[in-house]
Amino acid sequence: MPRVNNLKNQKKFSKDYQPENRGRKKKGVRNRSTIIREFLDITIKFTNPLTHKPEELTLEECMHLVQINKAIFQEDSNAYKMILDSAYGSPDKNIEIQLREEGKQEVIPIFKWGEESKGVSNEEE
């Protein structure tokens, strides 16, 4: 019951009374992703690891070239996966099973990545 008394003593929201947003950033403070994007847009002279020629590239382009270099020449499978996922999107991770009953063919997804296996049963849900 003490909470109800505390609520009665508080001011109600109105046009004139608006509480401060204490958890928010102050005006003018830039977001972390904005700061990182500004750094990634900086242009530097960089030796392309694939052509071995100096080029004017942004830091973001340099990072992409380094990942490609790792995937090809250092045979790094994680770098390879990241490059292909960036270029083409991550693959659909479904495992399906085909059932054939009396001339009828049906495909049932039994497992989706990130979910528990639902299993296959003869009963309808």
* Domain segments of the chain as ranges: 28-115
The answer on pLDDT for 12 being more than 90 is: no
pLDDT digits 0-9 by tens, 42-98: 999 999 888 899 999 999 999 999 999 999 999 999 999 999 988 888 877 666 666
Query: Exposed/middle/buried for 46, CB within 10 Å: 0-12, 13-18, 19+?
Result: middle
Assessment of whether the complete model's pTM goes beyond 0.85? no
Rounded distance between C-alpha atoms, residue 8 and residue 20, angstroms: 20
109 in Cβ contact with 96 (< 8 Å): yes
